[in-house]
């Protein structure tokens, strides 16, 4: 949903991959940021806001906040 996409946008922004609005709207900028994140992980680039992507973003940003 929109809340999950907004969380992704916020975390993608925190790691410098997204500079759009954190509004929960899945658009071209969010898709591009997810693809860049997936590319950095070395996984297949789908650009889709999946639960897996959100979990990986949350793990990464939690680790960087410790």
Q: What is the pLDDT of residues 5-52, one digit of tens each?
A: 999 999 999 999 999 999 999 999 999 999 999 999 999 999 999 999
Confidence of residue 62 (pLDDT cuts 50, 70, 90): confident
Q: Within its chain, how far is the Cα of 28 from the centroid?
A: 12
The residue behind tokens 């793990």 is 59
* Closest C-alpha to 62, from 5, 11, 6, 19: 11
């Amino acid at each position: 949903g929109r809340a999950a996409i907004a969380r992704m946008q916020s975390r993608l922004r925190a790691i410098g991959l997204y500079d759009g609005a954190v509004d929960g709207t899945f658009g071209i900028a969010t898709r591009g940021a997810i693809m860049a994140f997936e590319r950095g992980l070395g996984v297949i680039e789908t650009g889709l806001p999946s639960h897996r992507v959100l979990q990986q973003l949350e793990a990464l940003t939690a680790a960087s906040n410790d």
